[in-house]
Chain A
Amino acid sequence: MRNMNIKSIQQWLSRAGELVNEFYNAPYRSAIARAKRDEDDLFMMLVFSEMMGVPNPASYYTLELQPLMLERFHDWHQRMGMEHSPLDHFRCC
Chain B
Amino acid sequence: MNAIFVMLLGLAAMFLGYVFYSKFVAEKIYKLDPNFKTPAHEFEDGVDFVPTNKYVLWGHHFTSVAGAAPIIGPAIAVIWGWVPAFLWVIFGTIFFAGVHDAGAIWASNRNKAKSMGSLTGDVVSKRAQTLFMIVIFLVLLMVNAVFATAISGLLIKFPSSVIPVWGAIFVALIIGQIIFRKWMGLGTISILGVVALYLLIWAGPSAPLSLPETMGGLTDNASWVLILFGYAAIASLLPVWMLLQPRDYINGLQLFIGLILLYAAVLLLGPDMTAPAFNTNLPENTPSMLPLLFVTIACGAISGFHGLVASGTTSKQLDKETDLRFVGYFGAIGEGSLSLATIIAACAGFATLADWEAVYSSFGQGGVAAFVEGGANIISQGVGLDNEIAETLLTVMAVLFAGTTMDTGLRLQRYIFQEWGNIYNISWMQKALPATLLAVISCVALAFGAGSDGSGGLAIWPLFGTTNQLLAGLTLMVITVMLVRLGRPMYVTLLPLIFLLIMTVFALFIQLKGFYMEKNWFLFGLDIVVLIAAVWIALEATSALSNLKKEQKS
Contacts and interface: CB of A to CB of B under 8 A. Distances in A.
Interface of A: 13, 16-17, 19-24, 26-35, 37
A84 to B, nearest CB: 21
Nearest to B57: A26
Contact of B59 (A16, A23, A28, A33): A23
Contact of B56 (A13, A23, A32, A33): A23
B363 interface: no
B60 A27 contact: yes
A20 B186 contact: yes
A13 to B, nearest CB: 8
* Chain B facing A: main interface SS: helix
A7 B233 CA distance: 48
A33 B47 contact: yes
A1 B60 CA distance: 38
Contacts of B57: 26
B465 interface: no
B245 interface: yes
A32 B187 contact: no
Interface in B244-272: 244-245, 248-249, 252
B47 A24 contact: no
B173 to A, nearest CB: 15
Contacts of B55: 19
A22 B56 contact: yes
B179 interface: yes
Nearest to A13: B187
B405 to A, nearest CB: 14
B46 interface: yes
B190 interface: yes
A30 B46 CA distance: 8
Given A26-B56, A27-B248, A32-B240, 9 more contacts: A17-B186, A22-B56, A24-B179, A24-B245, A26-B57, A26-B60, A28-B240, A28-B241, A33-B48
B125 interface: no
B248 A29 contact: no
A22 B179 contact: no
A20 B252 CA distance: 11
A24 B187 contact: no
18 contacts: A17-B185, A17-B186, A19-B53, A19-B55, A20-B186, A20-B187, A21-B186, A22-B52, A23-B56, A24-B245, A26-B50, A26-B52, A26-B57, A26-B317, A27-B313, A30-B316, A31-B240, A34-B47
B313 A30 contact: yes
Contacts of B53: 19, 22
A33 B249 contact: no
B45 to A, nearest CB: 9
Nearest to A28: B245
B436 interface: no
A60 to B, nearest CB: 33
B338 to A, nearest CB: 18
Interface of B: 46-48, 50, 52-53, 55-57, 59-60, 64, 179, 185-187, 190, 239-241, 244-245, 248-249, 252, 313, 316-317
Contacts of B244: 28
A37 B52 CA distance: 21
Contacts of A37: 47
Nearest to B411: A31
Contact of B249 (A16, A17, A23, A29): A23
A13 B57 CA distance: 20
Given A29-B47, A33-B46, A24 B240 contact: no
Contacts of A20: 186-187, 190
Contacts of B249: 23-24
Contact of B241 (A13, A21, A26, A32): A32
Contacts of B185: 17
A22 B245 CA distance: 12
The 9 closest A-B pairs by CB, nearest first: A33-B47, A22-B56, A30-B48, A28-B245, A31-B240, A27-B60, A26-B60, A24-B249, A28-B240
Contacts of B64: 27
Nearest to A37: B47
A35 B48 CA distance: 12
B187 A23 contact: no
Contact of B186 (A24, A26, A30, A34): A24
B344 to A, nearest CB: 28
A27 B248 CA distance: 9
Contacts of B46: 29, 33
B256 to A, nearest CB: 11
Nearest to B61: A27
A63 B313 CA distance: 39
Nearest to A19: B56
A69 to B, nearest CB: 18
A11 to B, nearest CB: 14
Contacts of A29: 46-47, 50
Contacts of A32: 240-241
Contacts of B252: 23
A90 B190 CA distance: 49
